[in-house]
C-alpha cells in the first residue's frame, strides 16, 4: 500500500482516532479547541467539518456548518490536500447528508475532481464514489454499458489498489444487479485482484462468484482454481461442502497458473 496517501503530515492523530471510534462529539470538541489555538490550522478545520457530519443529534444546522467549513478550506486553497479533500466531502454532503440531496450536482463535482486531480487520493476516491451513481438507477441498458466501459477504462488508471479494487467490485455488482452477461462480471472480478480483498466474507464471495461465472463461460480451469481457493481457505463457510461437491463434479483437473 502506498504510504502517505494524503501527502500531508498529521498532527492531530488523537482527534482522528476519536472519529474513527465513532465518538464524533469528542472529535469535534478536540478539533474545535485545536483550531481555537491556531486559526491557520487547516487540519483542525477539516477535522471539525468531518466530525460535524455525524455529531449527534444530527441537524440541518450541523450539516450547513460543515459545508461552510469545507467551503472556507477551498476558498483559502483549493489545490492542496485539504482543498481537494474539502471538494470531495462537499460533494458527499450534497450527495448524502444535506436535505434535500442534490445528486446530479454532487456527481458532477465528483467527476470534475476526478478529472482535475486524477493522481491525488481525493480524485481517485471521487471516481470510486461517483461510480455507483453512474451505474444504478433508471437508465437504458446501453447507457449503463457505456458507463461500465468508461469506468473500466478510468479504473485501470487508478494508482492505488485499495481504491481500484472496490471500483471493479462495484462494476461487478452492477452486472449482477442488472443481469448483464457473465463474461463482463467475470472480467471485472478478475481485474479486482480478489486475492487481495481484505474482508474475508467478500473474498469468499468473490472466489465462489468467479468459480460459478467461469463455469458458465466454459473456463473450467479457472473455475477449478477459484473453487479450490475457496475450499482451502474457507472451511467455516456454509458453502464449503457445496463447493466441494462442485469440485468433484467438475470434469478434468486443470487449474490456471498462479
* Interaction between residue 202 and another protein (CB under 8 A): yes
CB 215 within 8 A of CB 230: no
Q: Which stretch binds another protein (CB under 8 A): 56-64, 107-115, 149-157, 218-226?
A: 56-64
What is the C-alpha separation between 111 and 115, in angstroms, rounded? 6
Among positions 187, 191, 205, 229, the unique one binding another protein when judged by CB under 8 A: 205
Look at residues 78, 109, 115, 111 and name the one whose alpha carbon lies nearest to residue 94: 109
Q: Decide: 123 and 114 in contact? Cβ < 8 Å.
A: yes
Give the shortest CB-111-to-another protein separation in angstroms. 16
43 makes contact with another protein (CB under 8 A): yes
91: which DSSP letter?
H
Q: Which is nearer to another protein, 1 or 257 (CB)?
A: 1
| Dist CA 252 CA 178 (whole Å) | 32
Cell of 124: 481517485
Binder among 29, 118, 240, 250 for another protein (CB under 8 A):
240
Q: CA 230 to CA 225: how far, in whole Å?
A: 9
- Inter-residue contact 82 to 43 (CB < 8 Å): yes
- Residues in region 17-36 near another protein by CB under 8 A: 17, 19-24, 27
Residue 37 class from Cβ within 10 Å (0-12 exposed, 13-18 middle, 19+ buried)? exposed
Q: Which of 199, 218, 249, 253 binds another protein (CB under 8 A)?
A: 199
Q: How far is the CB of 9 from another protein (least distance, A)?
A: 7
Interface region with another protein, contact rule CB under 8 A, candidates 111-119, 146-154, 234-242, 248-256: 234-242
67 binds another protein (CB under 8 A): no
Measure the CA–CA gap between 94 and 101, rounded to whole angstroms. Answer: 5
**Nearest approach, Cβ of residue 116 and another protein (Å):** 19
> How many CA atoms does the CB half-sphere of 46 hold within 13 Å?
27
Task: Rule CB under 8 A: say whether 209 interacts with another protein.
Answer: yes
Residue 141: CB minimum distance to another protein, A: 13
256 binds another protein (CB under 8 A): no
Residues 142-181 that bind another protein (CB under 8 A): 162-163, 165-166, 169-170, 173-174, 176-177, 179
Contacts (CB under 8 A) with another protein, residues 81-100 = 85, 89, 92, 96-97
Amino acid at each position: 500500500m502506498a504510504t502517505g496517501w494524503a501527502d500531508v503530515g498529521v498532527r492531530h492523530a488523537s482527534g482522528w482516532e476519536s472519529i474513527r471510534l465513532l465518538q464524533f462529539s469528542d472529535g469535534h470538541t478536540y478539533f474545535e479547541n485545536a483550531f481555537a489555538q491556531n486559526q491557520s490550522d487547516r487540519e483542525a478545520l477539516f477535522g471539525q467539518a468531518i466530525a460535524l457530519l455525524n455529531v449527534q443529534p444530527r441537524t440541518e444546522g450541523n450539516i450547513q456548518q460543515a459545508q461552510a467549513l469545507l467551503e472556507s478550506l477551498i476558498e483559502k486553497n483549493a489545490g492542496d490536500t485539504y482543498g481537494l479533500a474539502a471538494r470531495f466531502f462537499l460533494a458527499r454532503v450534497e450527495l448524502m447528508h444535506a436535505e434535500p440531496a442534490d445528486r446530479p450536482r454532487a456527481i458532477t463535482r465528483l467527476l470534475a475532481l476526478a478529472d482535475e486531480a486524477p493522481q491525488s487520493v481525493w480524485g481517485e476516491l471521487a471516481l470510486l464514489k461517483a461510480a455507483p451513481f453512474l451505474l444504478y438507477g433508471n437508465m437504458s441498458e446501453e447507457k449503463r454499458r457505456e458507463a461500465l466501459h468508461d469506468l473500466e477504462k478510468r479504473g485501470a488508471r487508478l494508482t492505488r489498489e485499495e481504491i481500484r479494487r472496490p471500483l471493479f467490485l462495484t462494476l461487478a455488482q452492477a452486472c449482477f444487479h442488472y443481469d448483464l452477461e457473465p463474461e463482463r462480471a467475470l472480467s471485472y472480478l478478475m481485474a479486482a485482484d480478489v486475492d487481495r480483498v481484505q474482508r474475508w466474507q467478500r473474498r469468499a464471495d468473490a472466489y465462489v462468484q468467479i468459480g460459478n461465472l467461469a463455469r458458465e463461460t466454459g473456463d473450467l480451469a479457472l473455475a477449478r482454481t477459484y473453487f479450490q481457493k475457496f475450499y482451502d481457505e474457507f472451511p467455516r463457510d456454509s458453502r464449503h461442502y457445496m463447493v466441494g461437491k462442485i469440485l468433484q463434479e467438475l470434469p478434468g483437473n486443470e487449474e490456471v497458473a498462479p
